[in-house]
Amino acid sequence: MVPPVSNRLRDAIVAARAPNHRIAQAWRDGDPIRRLRDAWDGVADVETAATHAARLLADRAWVAAIFAPLIDALAADPLFDPPFKVSRDALRTSARIHDCPTGSLTATLLSAAALRRSKPATTIVVPGRLSIMRVHVGGGATLRRWRAEQVAGDFTLATAGPAHPLPRLALDDGVVLRIDGRSDAMLITNAARDVVTLTATLRIGAAPVMREYDRHDGRARRGATLDERAARSQMLLTLLRANGRGDCGPAFDAASRDPAFFVRWDAMRQWLASDAESAVTRLTEMAASDPNDDIRTLAGATLVQVAAARAAHA
């Protein structure tokens, strides 16, 4: 059982809030974070944003200046709470240092001991976003890399080419690497000691989907959208269907013409589940003329199923 928090400790935690806030605000307004904000503010071109990020991450003094005030604050007060989100999994601990529409800056510690205990990954991920990674502490690790084709909005697993291995890289302390996650996957392996990285990940210029490939034969296994607008559309379509809104045919119809192929098909699935009779005309159009091969095939097969269901209830 976790022991209860003593009144003394509770009072100390409450008392630490005000100085925590002041230190955090000063850190956000400080020169290192201001330089990153200025470098990314209003930037719409991914290559420009990547160039700015690479320049900053190559500057050891800038990296040290980001963390120095927080390290000093923590040394002075063990109850100091750093002003960023921290996430943990079985292998790593990550802190989101900065986040904005252009991209994010994340510090990550990868546990060498946990990496040795874990089973080797059977798949690799092409995350869909360009990133610049500073290897602050390499830990004797090796970077394994794979490359797949870059994709457009009509990506399908059926037509996706395989991911091919690239030469391995030694993760030397201080090296700054460009990882084009629109086509490349990576794994950090063989770490003798913990690995510490600082990574700028760019949201602008992203691929439409992230993809997962089999590590051994390179075949595409899964894909997921990186388009937040498309993801919201899919959520709302599901909500309409779950609430029995078969009367929302115009909304389903409009979504079935979305530029994103997976949104088009998800709209049709939800429409069929809500009111199959009103969806058939549009389904027939999709089977005949949708620009995506997979959707035409799915729509044609679904028409056969609809016809069979009609015949069974005739």
Per-residue pLDDT reduced to its tens digit, 76-95: 888 888 888 999 999 999 99
Matching residue, tokens 């457009």: 152
Task: Name the residue among 53, 35, 32, 30 with its Cα closest to residue 103.
Answer: 53
Distance CA 43, CA 284 (A): 43
Question: Which pLDDT score, from 0 to 100, does residue 3 have?
Answer: 59
Q: How high is the pLDDT of residue 4?
A: 66
Q: How confident is the model at residue 241 (pLDDT cuts 50, 70, 90)?
A: confident
Residue type, 109: L
Would you state the structure tokens that stand for residue 80, as one six-digit string?
């100091």
**What is the reported pLDDT for 201?**
97
Confidence of residue 9 (pLDDT cuts 50, 70, 90): low
Q: What is the distance between the alpha carbons of residues 211 and 226, in angstroms, rounded to a whole number?
A: 10
Q: What is the pTM of this model?
A: 0.75
Q: Is the pLDDT of residue 219 over 90?
A: yes
Name 144's Cβ contacts closer than 8 Å, sequence gap at least 6. 165, 168, 186, 187, 188, 189
Question: What is the average pLDDT across 37-49?
Answer: 93
- Position 163 scores a pLDDT of 95
**What is the C-alpha to C-alpha distance for residues 243 and 240, in angstroms, rounded to an integer?**
5
Q: Which percentage of the chain shows pLDDT scores above 70?
A: 93
Q: Residue type at 254?
A: A
In the structure encoding, which two tokens stand for residue 193, read together?
């000691």
Closest CA to 140 of 188, 84, 212: 188
The single-letter code of the amino acid at 78 is P
**106 and 202 Cβ atoms separated by less than 8 Å:** no
